[in-house]
Amino acid sequence: MASQMIGFVGVGRMGGPMAGRLLDAGHTLTVFDTSAEAIAPLKARGATVAGSAEDVASSAEIVMMSLPTPPIVQAVSLGDKGILRGSKVRTLIDLSTTGPSVAKIVGAAAGERKVAWVDSPVSGGVSGATKGTLAVMVSGPRATFDEIEPLLKVFGKTFFVGEKPGLAQIAKLANNLLAAAALVLSSEAMAMGVKAGLDAKVLIDIINAGSGRNSATQDKFPKAILPGTFDFGFATGLSYKDVRLCIDEAEAMGVPMVAGAAVRQMLAVTQARFGANSDFTCIAKVLEEWAGVEIRG
């Protein structure tokens, strides 16, 4: 793959490792983030630091963004000093989880400016971003996808889901709802088992050897809950945002989400108790407090 100049806006927990992988692959980067701390490692590796998102988009034809919330994505894309005010950008790739509504708004604005819009949320967490093992969901013009797929493969495995704006966001929201649901139900089951007298580690091993195994019992519990570190790497506030977006979109489409609504409520409780910046594995802490047990092992 030939070296390219890439613009990257938002180089935090997920964007930073992804931008780093582009540097590893030999590409030249111009980056912008409101956090000097986030930019520092990339600057040290030779990335050019821009003064605004607009400046990034005036230096590169391909611009990627990885931002935390839909309003921030919309503001950074469309606002003053925003990406779509840049003079050079021709393709805008959004790696954030925004939900389809914002994807459609920004996609329409990009189209008016003759900028190809690619919706490309990713799944796999900070670890996946660092290792290049993310699931990269993509919707947008097929011809544009064919051009940029070599870049996206730097991040992990690509899945082209269609040309309709926001379609990749639906796939991402479905995935994140299931990830949160697995954590909620696994926490309830583990709290019950431990309160009854089962060893937490033994119970996790049983579940992972049986039909109940899931992403929470295989990853979150061994890495962040049984050790009591609660540091898996995904914020409660972001998980709550994703699940809210999912439920809202489903209800707007006429798809009832009865169990999904319960997952949303558990995330609301977790955020109220431990804060938006807590790790979403703190869902298990809520169950520990309610059940009067500690799930350790």
- Catalytically active residues are 172
Q: Determine the Cα–Cα distance for residues 181 and 201; give it in Å rounded to an integer.
A: 21
How does DSSP assign 172-213, residue by residue?
Answer: HHHHHHHHHHHHHHHHHHHHHHHHHT--HHHHHHHHHHSTT-
Helix and strand numbers (H, E) in the chain are 13, 9
Please list the residues that pair with 123 across neighbouring strands.
Answer: 135
Q: Which H or E run contains 150?
A: helix 142-152
Distance of CA 28 to the CA centre of its chain: 24
Here the tokens at position 17 are: 């490792």
Q: Determine the Cα–Cα distance for residues 218 and 25; give it in Å rounded to an integer.
A: 31
